[in-house]
Structure 1
Amino acid sequence: MDVSIMLFTRDLRIRDNPALAAACRAERVVPLFVFDDAILNGRFAAPNRVRFLLDCLADLRASLRGLGGDLVVRRGDPVAHTARIAEQTGARTVTLADERSAFGARRLAALRRLRLDVSAHPGVTVVPPGALLPSNGDHYRVFSPYWRAWEAARWRPVADTPARISLPDGVDPGPLPRLEDLTSGPLSPCLPPGGERAGRERMERWLRTDAAAYEETRDDLAADRTSRLSPYLKFGCISPLELANAAGGAYRRQLAWRDFHHQVMAAFPELPRRDYRPRGRRWNLERDVLDAWCEGATGVPVVDAGMRQLHREGFMHNRARLITASFLTRTLGVDWREGLAHFGDWLVDGDVADNAGNWQWGAGTGNATRPDQVMNPLRQAAKYDRSGDYVRTYVPELADVPAPHVRHPWTLPDEARRSIAYPPPIIDLT
């Protein structure tokens, strides 16, 4: 009997999943997901993302059962569990998504040391890292030429959805664990539901209602008409290729930025840890300044609103991400790695490559063509939150302040000040 193992990682869907389609060429398939202790024991097991992941896996299990199969769930080392299931079932092939982080590369290398036929397939990005190369280097360092190459590239066809999946006899699927068995810590109260079904519903609704106006509304903080599809892309609940085929030019450019950061990290795996382009900057080490930013209590309304949205929803509007990152690294002079870590603790869509690439861009240590650019948060608020409604939504202390005064620096009441001096020094914001 021909048996294949499909190791799910960052592709938690049945539609347009090339690795799953390849696995289903076998008579029997073991769809496998392993809760990796190397991830669960580290900072990447943020409660918001683990809760979303559990939703994704429950939805994936339901989809696989609808096709006649099931999701086999284990915890520990993915390579060891793959080897055990291969021995148990006689599987000779393993398929998985081609994920190019340093962690993903180590996992793939370890799998390939097994006596199995292991193949990695596209699907995490629209264009796989390494598929587009400049004539004078190993990867694109500037976005504009990458964008031109990305637009001109011939994309792969959409993979077929399996009609049926048959699990080998004698394989125990195992239960999905509880959230408290996997992680601990605060959860955001307004998290989106995870899973392919929720992701596709969100994608289809956004394409139908707001996608056409994306270019005009994407930076309007209060309008909140961005797609909010980033968590579903991060966990592979929706296909980035399908989304790119359906979306317009402005949104496709954002998907190209995502691919760009993935190809940068494939070439420079230290992207989340080291300056891509060292500037020799000396960072502000004052903990009080960082704490004020983390808590959404800097005294700059649009910055505080962004940080409080992050804590409430596990999400932050993209324009607010740019403003808060620039404020932390440029105005307060705090190391971008501190901001990356705090975002990583809360963002449901905490994609390592995209998050690190954007933080380095904002700090001037990454792929920005204007590394000295600083965003003035007051001017940004005046332009992108003209009515002040975004600030009022997330900073209730300012709910009754009229525009334009709601954009001006403010001071927390004494009972909320704790031991932190608010606001921290602000230079040339007017």
Structure 2
Amino acid sequence: MDTAVMLFTRDLRVHDNPALAAACAAARHVVPMFVFDEALLPASPNRVRFLVDALRDLDGSLRALGGGLLLRRGDPVAETVRVAGRAGAQAVFLSGDVSRYAARRLARLERECEAARIGVSALPGATVVPPGALAPAGGDHYKVFTPYWRAWEAAPRRPAAALPDRVAPPPADGLTDRRCPDGHVELDVVAEKFAAGASPDLLAGGEAAGRERMRRWLDEGLPGYGDGHDDLAGDRTSRLSAYLRFGCVSPLELAAAARGRPGGEPFVRQLAWRDFHHQVTAAFPDIGRRDYRPRDRRWHDDADALDAWREGRTGLPIVDAGMRQLRREGWMHNRARMISASFLTRNLRVDWRHGLAHFGAWLTDGDVADNAGNWQWVAGTGNDTRPNRVLNPLRQAARFDADGAYVRRYVPELAGLDARDAHAPWRLPPEDRRALPYPAPILDPEP
């Protein structure tokens, strides 16, 4: 094959990228490209900021291999087919994905490319084990995690894809921005237009940053993960979720590197949870819209309570600390995610879809499969085998923020209090409570 297009989507790396490796092996010339779908760009300034960083890094990696990244804007399918036609490409390569959006994009791409006599190859890479690789007897996907985990542990792994020796572009006259000027886009313009208002303490995106964080985590953080991953103030988690969400880090490489090390098993189990949610979403693409397991929940329409929750002013410090961390960092500790989600859906009885939308607007690692899967798990409409589980915020605070350091870090109004009072400031004497610039609880925290 003379020329192929490599369409990057959420696999923004050159290491262990099966689609890129296959394109370079199959074709003498490869056109790497990314298409900004402007219908999606306004969804999250944090993800746009991270994405811009990742694309800059990817372009640098491709240039080091002799290529470069072509950036377009518009409809991803139309732009890909147009570039493939002008480059004289015989095939398009991309990574598979499970969201409804991704499934529809792939189906349209296959139809349009078939009409243009261009081949399409969608390869794995977004998960450790591909979503369709495991299924229970008599079913199309696993609905409970524990049996999935057993099957996942025993499943064979694909070998990591080799880093291409070279990404050779077409001849100079084969494809230039001059021939498609209306589709070209500059990263600085995207950032200025769509990343305004991003969280101030956002991590830098990109494969280089992700691989360095992965290296440090495996060497320094992983050994204490089993005992410390729920310690809110200790923050002994990898913070690799955004790099996994954008494919800056290979989940397969990460799982292989962690396996067998101290702390490796509980961490690898979290990667299996990620794969679990992806195989659920592949089978149930409406996971972000409809109850996976309808429970006839009766939700309350309480705009004031929802706003207080979003803004971190519920008067429940452990909840507010998590929500303020989300705004400041574009990330939230997983234990805090569960506490805040349980408070919204179980205490305030607000529909989980409102929480999902807010997390989706701010989480840099916001991913349909994991975000919606976890929200439904907490709300009791998803894959939790105990659908009536409620996380008591005070007990959670006492257990996972025993000295109150997490609350004091993100709720500075309570910085001068000891742990007991920082977790429950309403217990203070009335004159002390009135002196705090912190709201009273929006519901009785100790019914």
> What TM bracket, shorter-length normalisation?
over 0.9
- List structure 1 runs of 4+ shifted beyond 2 angstroms: 169-182, 409-417, 426-429
1:189 matched to 2:189: no
- Aligned pairs for 1:277-296 within 5 A: 277-296=293-312
Inter-partner Cα distance in structure 2 for 1:31 and 1:416: 53
Inter-partner Cα distance in structure 2 for 1:32 and 1:106: 19
**Structure 1 counterpart of 2:11:** 11
Tell whether the 8 Å contact from 1:40 to 1:182 is kept in structure 2 after alignment: no
1:423 matched to 2:441: yes
**Structure 1 counterpart of 2:152:** 150
More helix by share: 2
Inter-partner Cα distance in structure 2 for 1:203 and 1:96: 24
Select which of 123, 126, 141 maps to 2:125: 123
**Structure 2 counterpart of 1:404:** 420
**Structure 2 counterpart of 1:163:** 165
**How far apart are residue 179 of structure 1 and its match?**
3.6
Aligned partner of residue 58 in structure 2, secondary structure? helix
**How far apart are residue 166 of structure 1 and its match?**
1.1
**Structure 2 counterpart of 1:23:** 23
Aligned partner of residue 291 in structure 1, secondary structure? helix
Match of 2:299, as an amino acid? Answer: W
Inter-partner Cα distance in structure 1 for 2:369 and 2:444: 30
**How far apart are residue 36 of structure 1 and its match?**
1.0
**Structure 2 counterpart of 1:274:** 290
**How far apart are residue 53 of structure 1 and its match?**
0.2
Tell whether the 8 Å contact from 1:127 to 1:150 is kept in structure 2 after alignment: yes
Deviation track 1:149-196 (CA, whole Å, cap 9, x = no partner) reads 000000100000011111112333654342455426521110000000
Deviation track 1:119-178 (CA, whole Å, cap 9, x = no partner) reads 100100111111101102111000000000000000100000011111112333654342
Inter-partner Cα distance in structure 2 for 1:263 and 1:14: 25
**Structure 2 counterpart of 1:75:** 73
Inter-partner Cα distance in structure 1 for 2:316 and 2:371: 23
**How far apart are residue 92 of structure 1 and its match?**
0.6
Inter-partner Cα distance in structure 1 for 2:71 and 2:315: 46
Tell whether the 8 Å contact from 1:284 to 1:332 is kept in structure 2 after alignment: yes
Aligned length: 423
Inter-partner Cα distance in structure 2 for 1:372 and 1:158: 41
Match of 2:220, as an amino acid? Answer: T
Tell whether the 8 Å contact from 1:296 to 1:303 is kept in structure 2 after alignment: yes
Inter-partner Cα distance in structure 1 for 2:272 and 2:61: 29
**Structure 1 counterpart of 2:181:** none
- Aligned pairs for 1:306-325 within 5 A: 306-325=322-341
1:257 matched to 2:259: no
- Any stretches of 5+ residues in structure 2 without a counterpart? 178-183, 259-263
Tell whether the 8 Å contact from 1:306 to 1:321 is kept in structure 2 after alignment: yes
With 364-373 and 163-172 compared, the bigger mean Cα shift is at: 163-172
Inter-partner Cα distance in structure 1 for 2:39 and 2:121: 22
**Structure 2 counterpart of 1:362:** 378
With 32-41 and 381-390 compared, the bigger mean Cα shift is at: 32-41
Select which of 208, 214, 219 maps to 2:219: 208
Please, what TM-score do these two structures have when normalized by structure 2? 0.92
**Structure 1 counterpart of 2:139:** 137
Tell whether the 8 Å contact from 2:49 to 2:195 is kept in structure 1 after alignment: no
**How far apart are residue 246 of structure 1 and its match?**
1.2
- Aligned pairs for 1:341-380 within 5 A: 341-380=357-396
Aligned partner of residue 4 in structure 1, secondary structure? strand
| 1:403 to 1:77, Cα distance in 2 relative to 1, 3 A | same
Deviation track 1:95-127 (CA, whole Å, cap 9, x = no partner) reads 100111111111111111112110100100111
- Any stretches of 5+ residues in structure 1 without a counterpart? none
Inter-partner Cα distance in structure 1 for 2:37 and 2:349: 36
Tell whether the 8 Å contact from 2:50 to 2:364 is kept in structure 1 after alignment: yes
**How far apart are residue 426 of structure 1 and its match?**
2.9
**Structure 2 counterpart of 1:95:** 93
Identity %: 63
**How far apart are residue 213 of structure 1 and its match?**
1.1
Aligned partner of residue 374 in structure 1, secondary structure? coil
Inter-partner Cα distance in structure 1 for 2:239 and 2:46: 15
Tell whether the 8 Å contact from 2:160 to 2:253 is kept in structure 1 after alignment: yes
Tell whether the 8 Å contact from 1:72 to 1:172 is kept in structure 2 after alignment: no
Tell whether the 8 Å contact from 2:7 to 2:94 is kept in structure 1 after alignment: yes
Aligned partner of residue 285 in structure 2, secondary structure? coil
**How far apart are residue 351 of structure 1 and its match?**
0.9
Match of 1:68, as an amino acid? Answer: G
Inter-partner Cα distance in structure 1 for 2:82 and 2:121: 18
**How far apart are residue 85 of structure 1 and its match?**
1.4
Match of 1:10, as an amino acid? Answer: R
Inter-partner Cα distance in structure 1 for 2:265 and 2:15: 23
Match of 1:205, as an amino acid? Answer: R
